[in-house]
Chains A and B, each alone.
Chain A
Amino acid sequence: MAERPSTDEALFEYLLRLGDNCLILGHRTSEWCGKGPALEEDIALANTALDLIGQTQLWLSLAGEIEGKGRTADDLAYKRDAMDFRNVLLVEQPNGDFGQTLVRQFLFDAWHLPTLQALGDSSDSRLAEIAEKAIKEVTYHLERSTDLVIRLGDGTGESHARLQRAVDALWPLTDELREADDIERTLAGDGMAADPDALAQAWDTHVSNVLSRATLSRPEDGHGRYKGSGKRGRHSEHLGYILAEMQFLPRTYPDASW
């Protein structure tokens, strides 16, 4: 691969986005430990969280390599402040009730899988390799979240209402998933990352289909423009608290190894 600083910088940013999405969503999901609505669901949630943390390690390690300053995945996870994180706003939202957690997971999975599938064909073999590993896991994540959204959307009046509330609340944050910026377009142009328009289309088709089968209504688009930009480091107030908790030990004991 030709060494072009601007591509490496774009790639570094892009890998942080992929890794940070997995890290923050994995972290949020792990907050459910021991508190899920059923034992079987507790175990499923932990599987999802474990998958995401594993993927975090892969993406952030590669990011550190590309950056070339010797930062490991742990360095990146535990020592950056909020404005240097690149996850989308959707994944840092609080868990709320299980309905909100589920809808957050579903809306993300519907983007995550096609993204990984496209990355599996990346011209950069390092990205393709990681994507291949993650595809099996994320295929299952999307299968499960899709199935649960349909079942609970078309369950009792209460399960339907909770899911609709969650869809309405989280919908504006999906703009960020669906709208590509120059980093994504540059990398797509080089064949390294997914074509953003194809991604947005795949997301739209799947989500619309599922909402309809779940008897849920699709909210109006276009209300996410002024929410901020996680991809660019302009996060919600939630991320600061997540990091304060997550990073506490390494920051308090900087010379300790664990």
Chain B
Amino acid sequence: MSSVSSSAYPDTKEPAAERTPRPEWPLWEIFIRGQHGLNHRHVGSLHASDAQMAISNARDVYTRRNEGVSIWAVRSADIVASAPSEKGPLFDPADSKVYRHPTFFDIPEEVGHM
């Protein structure tokens, strides 16, 4: 049985008041529903300065071969995913379309926003 884990880095979350521009664009996960598709599929990620730019970039990066019509963009850090079971390495995700969630390894501060 899996449980919902919180954001990977609770102690690196930016305080709401501080919003100075960071040099690195955040990472976004992109989901596309094709013309005849029923669902949005996760196709990959990219960097963009905000949500609208993420969608605009996704049109160029992930639909340049007319692969999709509807695009969703979600900040990677905002994705909450199920944790591997307590049994550790034997957890095998049932759905191959598992979200690529940031790992639970420590990230040095100088690496920046994840």
Contacts and interface: CB of A to CB of B under 8 A. Distances in A.
B61 interface: yes
Contacts of B48: 40
Contact of B61 (A43, A140, A143, A156): A43
A47 B60 contact: yes
Contacts of A151: 49, 53
Contact of B47 (A38, A47, A147): A38
Interface residues of A, number: 12
Nearest to B57: A40
12 contacts: A39-B47, A40-B48, A43-B60, A43-B61, A44-B60, A47-B64, A143-B56, A144-B56, A147-B52, A147-B56, A151-B53, A156-B21
A222 to B, nearest CB: 35
Contacts of A39: 47
Interface of A: 38-40, 43-44, 47, 140, 143-144, 147, 151, 156
Given A43-B60, A47-B64, A151-B49, 6 more contacts: A38-B47, A40-B47, A44-B60, A47-B60, A144-B56, A156-B21
Contacts, number: 27
A125 B21 CA distance: 51
Nearest to A143: B56
B46 interface: yes
Contacts of B61: 40, 43
Nearest to B46: A40
A151 B48 CA distance: 13
A44 B53 CA distance: 12
Nearest to A48: B60
A39 B60 CA distance: 11
A71 B53 CA distance: 42
A140 B64 CA distance: 12
A47 B57 CA distance: 11
Contacts of A156: 21
Among A38, A40, A44, A144, chain B packs the most CB atoms within 10 A around the CB of A40
